Structure 1
C-alpha cells in the first residue's frame, strides 16, 4: 500500500508547482487550469485506493487463506438435514424400522473454498459479514506504519541506498510477532478479542520460533521489490529523470508507461519464482502456531499430516520451514498459482484502465500544457531524490 501521508505530500507539492508555474512571467508558458489539475489528481487518488483494496483483499487476504486451506474439504451432513428427492425410496420400512444398510451420515466431498475468488469472498461474507474482505486491516496498517518507522530510524544515518534494504529486513524480523498476529487474525473465525490481545505469548519465545521463516521471507520480499525498480530505472526515460536539463513531453509519458509495465511483469516473475515459496513456508509456519482455542475460517489440518508435535508432549508446537513447503502438495500449489494468476490479471486490467483513463484525461484536460505538468513532476522527483 502507498502511505497516505507520502501521497498527500506529493499531491501538495504538485499543486504548488503548478501554481508557481502559472504565476511565472514566461509569456509563452501554457497555462494549466487548476480545476483540470484537481480532476487529474482525484482520478489518480481514486485508482490508487482501488488498487490498494484489490491488493489487500485478493493479493494478501485470499492468497493467505489459499496457503492455509487443506487440499480438499470433507463435510459430514446428517441425512435428516437433507431434503429427499420426490422419487427417492423411503429410508424406513413399513413397520418403522430403519433399513439394514442405511447409514447415519452422508459424505459430501467438495472442492476447496479458495479454488474460486468469488466463492472465497462469499464464504468470508457469510461467516464474518461484508467487511470481512478487509479483515485484519487494522493490524496490517499498524504493522506497515511500525515497519516504516523502524526503517526510517535505521536508515536515517546513512545515504547508501542499500542501507534501506538492510533496514527493511531488520524491521521485518523485529516485527515478526505482529506479522504472525495478522496471519492468525485473517485465517481464524471472528473473535471478540482485539488484535493486540491476540499477539502470541510468551513474546520472545514465540519470536524465536517464527524468526527463521520471516527472515527468509523478508529477504525475498526485498529482492522482488527492489530489483525491478533498479532494472527499470537504469534505462530509457526513467534514467534521465534526474537530469535537470531533461524536458519530457507526451512521447516520454508513453515511454514511461511502457517501462512501468516492464517493471510490473518482472515483479510478477520474481514473485512466482522466489516469494511464493518463501511466503507459503512463512504463512504455514505461523498457522501451525495458531492457539488451540482459535478455529480457522477455512478447513485446515493443524497436524500437517502428523508432521507437528504439540509442546505438551515434548514437541516444538510448530512445523519446520522445509516441512511447511513440502506439506503444501502439488494440488495446493496449482490452486495457489491459479489464484495468483487471477489476481495478477485483475491488477493488470485495473492498471491498464488507470493508464488509459489518465492518458485520455491528459489529452482532454491539459492538451499542450501536459508537458508543463510533466516538467513540474520532474522537478519534484529531482527534489525528492
Structure 2
C-alpha cells in the first residue's frame, strides 16, 4: 500500500507539473498530459494495487500458511446411514487396511485436505472465522511490517547502500521474530477473543531464542527472492536506461518494459519455489509446533509432528527442529503446497496481466505521445517506493 500511496501522491504532482509546463522560450507546451486522463489512469492503478494486495494477503499468506501446517489427510468413521448409497460401493475398512467384519453400521471416510482447493479453503475459513476472514491476523501483520520498516530505516539511515538495507531487513526480521510467530499462531488457530498482542508467547526472550534461527534462514532467502529479480531486470533492456535524462522511450519501449516486468515476475516465482518455499515451510512449522495448548487449530494439524516434538514439561524443547520441520512435511504435502503455489501465482499473474492490458489500452487512448514521460515518472516512483 505504500507504493500505491506514493504513486497517487506523486502522480498528482506530475499532473500539476505538466499542466503548467512551458518551454524556456515561451513556445506552446509540448506533450501536455490532460489532468482528467491522468486521474483515470491513476485510479485504475490504485484499484489494481489494492486488488493485488488483497490477493497477496489472502491467497499468498493466509492460505499458503494453512497449507504448510495441515495434515495430509483425515480419516473418520461415520454412521453408514449418513452416507449416500452408491452402487458397487466398497466395503468399510479398518485403519490397518483390513476389512471390517464385525461392525456393519459404520463406514470409513477419508477426506482430502481442506487446503487442496482454494475455493474450499475460502469456504472453510468463511464458516469458521466469518465473512471477515480475509482480515485474519491483519492487525498483527500491519504492526509487524510497520515496525520492521522503522527498524530497517533506523539501521540503514547511515548509508544509501542497498547491501546495508538488505542486512538491516534481515536484522529487523530476526528481531521481530516473536511478532511474526504470533501472526502465524493467529492464522492457524480458531478465532480467539484475545487481542493480538495478548497472544505473543511468553517468556519473550526464551521464546525468541527458539524461533530466531528459523526466522533468520527465512529472512535471508526472502531478501534473495525479492532483490535478485530487480537487480537482474534493471541490468538490461529498456529499464536499464530509465534513469538516463536524455532517454526518450516511446510505445515500443513501453511494450519491451512490460515484457521485462513480466520476466521479473517469472524469475520471482522460480526463486520463490526453489528457495523461499522450503525456508518458509520450515519456519512456519517450527512456529506452529510452539502453538499454545489452549489454542485449537482451524485445520487438521498434527501437533506432535509424528512424535518428533517433546513437551518442555518432561524435559524437551517444546518445538520441532528446522530440519525435522522440513522432513516431516512429506511429499504428499509438498505436492499439495506446490499445486497451491502454482494456483496462487497464476491468479496473481493473471491479475497483473489484466492490469497491464488495461493500462496499455488506457495509455494509448488517454496519453498518446506523452506516455513516454509518464512511463519514466512511474519507473522513478516505483524505484523510490521499493
Fold shared, TM-score > 0.5 on shorter chain = yes
Q: Secondary structure at the residue paired with 2:64?
A: helix
Partner of 2:335: 334
Q: Secondary structure at the residue paired with 1:70?
A: coil
Partner of 1:180: 181
Partner of 2:249: 248
**How far apart are 1:111 and its partner, in Å?**
0.7
**How far apart are 1:376 and its partner, in Å?**
4.2
How big is each residue's C-alpha offset from its partner over 1:10-48, in whole Å with a ceiling of 9 and x where there is no partner? 322222223222212231512221111111000000001
Partner of 2:97: none
Partner of 2:16: 19
**How far apart are 1:246 and its partner, in Å?**
1.3
Partner of 2:217: 216
Further displaced range: 25-34 or 185-194:
25-34
Q: Which runs of 4+ in 1 moved over 6 A?
A: 381-385
1:114–1:120 Cα contact (<8 Å) kept: yes
1:18–1:373 Cα contact (<8 Å) kept: no
CA-atom RMSD in angstroms: 2.2
How big is each residue's C-alpha offset from its partner over 1:94-135, in whole Å with a ceiling of 9 and x where there is no partner? xxxxxx933675432111111111111111111111111331
Q: 1:8 to 1:162 in 2, by over 3 A?
A: same
Asked if 1:33 corresponds to 2:38, the answer is no
Q: Secondary structure at the residue paired with 2:109?
A: strand
How big is each residue's C-alpha offset from its partner over 1:232-260, in whole Å with a ceiling of 9 and x where there is no partner? 01111111111121122222211111110
Q: Distance in 2 between matches of 1:380 and 1:266?
A: 22
2:19–2:35 Cα contact (<8 Å) kept: no
2:68–2:285 Cα contact (<8 Å) kept: yes
Partner of 2:91: none
**How far apart are 1:324 and its partner, in Å?**
0.3
How big is each residue's C-alpha offset from its partner over 1:71-116, in whole Å with a ceiling of 9 and x where there is no partner? 1112343567x277599xxxxxxxxxxxx93367543211111111
Q: 1:85 to 1:21 in 2, by over 3 A?
A: closer
Q: Secondary structure at the residue paired with 1:242?
A: coil
Output aligned runs, 1:1-385, within 5 Å.
Answer: 2-3=1-2, 6-26=3-23, 27-78=28-79, 82=82, 101-102=102-103, 105-377=106-378
Q: Distance in 2 between matches of 1:71 and 1:365?
A: 52
Further displaced range: 207-216 or 20-29:
20-29
Partner of 1:94: none
Partner of 1:93: none
Aligned length: 370
Q: 1:379 to 1:23 in 2, by over 3 A?
A: farther
1:242–1:381 Cα contact (<8 Å) kept: no
How big is each residue's C-alpha offset from its partner over 1:354-385, in whole Å with a ceiling of 9 and x where there is no partner? 00000001111112222342354466679889
TM-score by length of 2: 0.91
TM-score by length of 1: 0.91
Q: Distance in 2 between matches of 1:212 and 1:140?
A: 20
Q: Which runs of 5+ in 2 are unaligned?
A: 88-100
1:169–1:218 Cα contact (<8 Å) kept: yes
